[in-house]
Amino acid sequence: MFLLAPSILGADFKHLEQQVCEAADAGAQYIHLDVMDGDFVPSISFGMPVIASLRSCTDKVFDVHMMVREPGRYIDAMKEAGADIISVHVEACTHLDRTVNQIKEAGLKAGVVLNPATPVDVLDCILDQVDMVLLMTVNPGFGGQKFIPYTLEKIRALREKCNMRGLSTDIEVDGGVTCDNVRELMEAGANVFVAGSAIFKGDVTANTKAFLKIFEEQ
């Protein structure tokens, strides 16, 4: 099943509630929440208070992408704020196995994230333990960047790895995803699609529906 995860980083924060509701009402299944610490990535975005406020607007799946060093420090607080899935970067966790277990023990779905230049083989030991792998298709930290083409091969390699192990792990892609390249990403093996600019720039309802229509056609 193909799922759409609008990233609120692309939204107009003056009208955040309205924009999230619009994407949700148009049929997006997830809401993607990009938490940045100004250390692991250059920018700072938002944290628990914003997520907790939005929690009362929608019951869609809250897909929290932690661009934070040592994110294990915030698992309980993120759960409290309303996270359903927490994804952590392998590059930001000294003890990745511990952090993944913390997420699962909190009763949440656990994802691991790879930067574009991190090879998928780094997942060999942890793959069976996670619900989702998020492959960055841009360097994390900012919305509105261009998709990095070599990441397509990583999606294929990861789907192949999952298939070989009999795993139906979700593969999420994040960065530069548009209606023009999403078919290629679907064919490569991704099934959860983050989109910031492609959803929130312009008509949110129409943009959301355009993605969902492509999903239905497959």
Examine the residue annotation and report whether 174 is marked as an active-site residue of this protein: yes
For strands 170-174 and 109-114, give the pairing. Answer: unpaired
Shorter beta-carbon distance to ligand DX5: residue 61 or 167? 61
Q: Is 144 labeled as ligand-binding?
A: yes
Residue showing the smallest CB distance to Zn ion in the complex:
65
User: Which of 12, 25, 34, 59 is the catalytic position?
Assistant: 34
DSSP 124: T
Q: For residue 46, with 0-12 CB atoms within 10 Å meaning exposed, 13-18 middle and 19 or more buried, which class applies?
A: middle
H-type helices in the chain, by residue range? 16-25, 48-55, 75-81, 96-105, 151-164, 182-188, 197-200, 204-217
Query: What does the alpha-carbon distance between residue 145 and residue 84 come to, in Å, rounded to a whole number?
Result: 26
Give the range of 46-54, 61-69, 113-121, 145-153 binding Zn ion by CB under 5 A.
61-69
Shorter beta-carbon distance to ligand DX5: residue 99 or 207? 207
Instruction: Tell me how far, at minimum, the Cβ of 115 lies from Zn ion, in Å.
Output: 12
Of 145, 202, 215, 152, nearest to 23 by C-alpha is 202
Instruction: Tell me how far, at minimum, the Cβ of 52 lies from ligand DX5, in Å.
Output: 20
Q: Is 72 labeled as ligand-binding?
A: no
Handedness of CA 46, 178, 199, 130 (dihedral sign): negative
Does position 172 interact with Zn ion (CB under 5 A)? The reply is: no
Give the range of 38-46, 64-72, 73-81, 101-109 binding Zn ion by CB under 5 A.
64-72
Instruction: Tell me how far, at minimum, the Cβ of 6 lies from Zn ion, in Å.
Output: 11
Give the SS3 label for residue 169.
coil
Instruction: Tell me how far, at minimum, the Cβ of 163 lies from ligand DX5, in Å.
Output: 26
Q: Is 65 labeled as ligand-binding?
A: yes
Annotated binding site: 7, 32, 34, 65, 141-144, 174-176, 196-197
Active site residues: 34, 174
